[in-house]
Amino acid sequence: QWDLWDKYGIDADLAWSVLTGNETVVVVGMDTGVRYFHKDLGGNNPPGPADNDTDGNVWVNPYEIPGNGIDDEGNGKVDDVVGWDFVTGVAGCSSGEDCSTQDNDPRDFHGHGTHTAGTMAAITNNARGVAGIAGGWSDGTTGSAGNGSKIMCMRIGWATPGGGYVRMDFAAQAMNYVTDMKNRGVNVAAVNASWHSSNSGGIDLAVDNLLAADVMLIHAAGNSGSSTPDYLGGKAGVMNVAATDKSGYRAYFSNYGSWVDIAA
């Protein structure tokens, strides 16, 4: 993971000397889902739709009683223990994908969402997998518990034989969920949006409400080498992040322009 410590990386080691992550802070993986049962995320005792006991860095809903079949907090989502799967009514999905109905299992079949979640808060110093930027600092033994920021799992995308996709109406619904949780008292700090966007499906109002709730929206600038922003790229209040390479230059594939806030 050269990007954490290399000369042209983000100097994560210096940041970790101040703070390695905070267990009271929630970050949102809003993508193709999250493999919350991955031991570098959920720990040796990962949570799930029917289990809120964990020693990892996956968020569990403090207002939900797992497995009781009741919408305990009254948000319209039954047993949303680790998050929610908003994908429904999608055709052409890869074999094994869950694309028919919304449910309380936001697992990731594609892999992209798990990758970005790991970048944010995979358990760090646990002799396993990768180091998350805000993954805490374990004791260095294999499989040691996580004490970093917690990952809320939002599934708005899916895998097809040709790649992965997200839909803006699903993204809007997920943002509304996050805003509701923030207003209920969950300490949500930021949402990661590493996908191409358009102004459709009610997303503009959802973004406005999310930002008004004091939740940061972090958006990947894009990977097409273009200077033209997509919807979130041009949206006021959104932080847009471009990519750099090992030499400290813009990665050849990264989008760019005055609308980009930071590169890493």
What is the DSSP code string of 81-117? SSEEE---S--SPPTT---SS-BS----SSSHHHHHH
What are the helix (H) ranges across the chain?
2-5, 12-16, 112-121, 168-184, 203-212
Identity at 197, one-letter amino acid code: S
Query: Model's pTM, two decimal places?
Result: 0.96
How far apart are the C-alpha atoms of 78 and 203, rounded to whole Å?
Answer: 24
CB 240 within 8 A of CB 207: no
Q: What is the DSSP letter of 24?
A: T
Model confidence pLDDT, tens digit, residues 145-179 = 999 999 999 999 999 999 999 999 999 999 999 99
Q: Which residues of 112-129 are buried (b: 16+ CB within 10 A; e: fewer)?
A: bbbbbbbbbbbbbbbebe
CATH 3.40.50.200 corresponds to the domain 1-220: yes
Model confidence pLDDT, tens digit, residues 233-262 = 999 999 999 999 999 999 999 999 999 999
How far apart are the C-alpha atoms of 11 and 30, rounded to whole Å?
Answer: 25
Model confidence pLDDT, tens digit, residues 32-81 = 999 999 999 999 999 999 999 999 999 999 999 999 999 999 999 999 99
How confident is the model at residue 2, as a pLDDT?
A: 77
User: What are the sequence ranges of the domains in the chain?
Assistant: 1-220
